[in-house]
Amino acid sequence: STATLRSQTISFTTLPNEKPVVSPPVALSTGPIGIIVEFEIVEDGGEPVLTAGCDVTDASTFETVRIHLSEDCLTLGKHRIHITGLVPMTGYVITPFASNSLGEAKGESLEYTTKNTILLTEAGTLHELFAGATSIDLSCLTISGCMNGDDFRFLRHLLGGSESFDGLQIDSRVTDIDLSDIYIVEGGGSYDGMRFTSADELSTGLFADCLSLRSAILPSSATRLARNAFAHCSSLVTLTISAGTTSVMPSEDCRSLKAIEVSEANCSFTSIDGVLFNSGATGIVWFPLGKGGAYSLPSTITSIGENAFYGTSITSIEIPSSVTAIGRGAFAGSALTEITLPDNITNISEGMFQNCVSLATVRLGSGTEYVGNYVFSGTVLKDLYISASIPPYAAEQAFFGTPVSITENCVLHVPYGTKAVYRNNSKWGLFKQIEEYRH
């Protein structure tokens, strides 16, 4: 009753509760009647985000359709929305939005105009749209909707495939196809007389022997590109991997192919100078046969896959020291004239240089421990340099093959002071000419 006690005063300022902040949208991939956009929820305003997505407005009628993100995506950061089923030849305004308990905020808008396209409302009806036609003067064919085996068999006919379609003979000028808004479905007949379509897959032989095909944009919904889906497409120059593809296998004998492009919305692959790599560019997936001359691999690569450069037109290649493994037949049948392998390559895989008819000089690194069968089969190698001071183990058929064994005509160059060791080795000693060199 005689005193009043007070504690120290604490001062603080509360954070403001505000609407969210949304970035402008970015178009990652566009198709004839579809687009993949990315936007970022930059700030939540101090409250949980309740809804977010994009408003899609028809620029002529001003009708708006709202597309929402799922509840588990209402977080800070970047988000993607695939907008499909738009009207051909129509302008749209796409505006991202996000809301919390205090209200809704919108980002800047993106304008997008759809293209003219053949819209299939029912799979198996592509040929019906050309009923009575004797010729097609279009060079580029853009198709949207669902396609089955019958549709692809007709499309193969338009692209110079060997199969006719129910007796139809159409003089087609089609060379380029855009299938980015296509959904591949099961059903219909065989597209090549043997195989049938599988859902969301570009199956083996789907476009094989389509000799008129020059460029192709693959469906955004297709997850797999099978081996030899484009086999023997000798006129194919450009191939575009779309957003949803997670598995790609090369096609043989696409000798004009110069560039494999990748949609910015694809998270599994990347393209560097037209060459297809995995997303981190640590492994090569497909090297186009139409690229020739000297080539340098990116410094990020750590491995070269099996048959990666099979039949290519490269004459020389620079391999970074980051590469630690090279698969079987990696350079088989290529136009290489010389090659130097890094010191940390230990295994010279089976058939690595098989049938490289122009290959004259090979340099193996100091870490070489094993040389597999048929590595030099079918070559006319003149000089083989090896930096390993201890002779690597050589498989039984390592130095033999058609037309003659390289041990007869090739000069083996070994490190200074190791000639006797190599001469006394049961396999390396078969070389008639062994010379020492300083490296």
329, 330, 334, 335 alpha-carbon torsion, rounded to 10°: -130
Task: State pLDDT tens for residues 247-257.
Answer: 999 998 999 99
Rounded distance between C-alpha atoms, residue 385 and residue 389, angstroms: 12
CATH code (residue 42): 2.60.40.10
- Give bridge partners of residue 215 from the DSSP assignment: 176, 238
Tell me: pLDDT of 357 over 80.
yes
pLDDT at 178: 96
Do 233 and 333 lie in a common domain? no
pLDDT at 129: 85
Do 206 and 295 lie in a common domain? no
Do 129 and 278 lie in a common domain? yes
Do 145 and 106 lie in a common domain? no
Angle among Cα 119, 121, 122 to the nearest 5 degrees reads 125
Tell me: pLDDT of 403 over 70.
no
CA distances for 71 relative to 1, 50, 64, 205, angstroms: 59, 8, 21, 41
Residue with tokens 């390289």: 406
Task: State pLDDT tens for residues 73-130.
Answer: 999 999 999 998 899 999 999 999 999 999 999 999 999 999 889 999 899 999 888 8
Tell me the pLDDT band of 401, cut-offs 50, 70 and 90.
Answer: low
Rounded distance between C-alpha atoms, residue 196 and residue 185, angstroms: 10
CA distances for 378 relative to 104, 393, 404, 407, angstroms: 70, 21, 8, 13
What is the total count of domains within the chain? 3
Do 129 and 66 lie in a common domain? no
Number of neighbours of residue 33 by Cβ within 10 angstroms? 23
pLDDT at 175: 96
Mean pLDDT, rounded, of the chain: 92
Do 252 and 202 lie in a common domain? yes
Cβ atoms of residues 157 and 195 within 8 Å: no
For residue 192, give the amino acid letter: D
Do 367 and 308 lie in a common domain? yes
pLDDT at 307: 86
Rounded distance between C-alpha atoms, residue 317 and residue 78, angstroms: 39
Rounded distance between C-alpha atoms, residue 198 and residue 45, angstroms: 46
Do 312 and 171 lie in a common domain? no
Structural domain including 85 reads 21-113
Rounded distance between C-alpha atoms, residue 54 and residue 65, angstroms: 8
Mean pLDDT of 392-404: 81
Do 97 and 193 lie in a common domain? no
- Percent of the chain scored above 90 by pLDDT? 79
CATH code (residue 280): 3.80.10.10
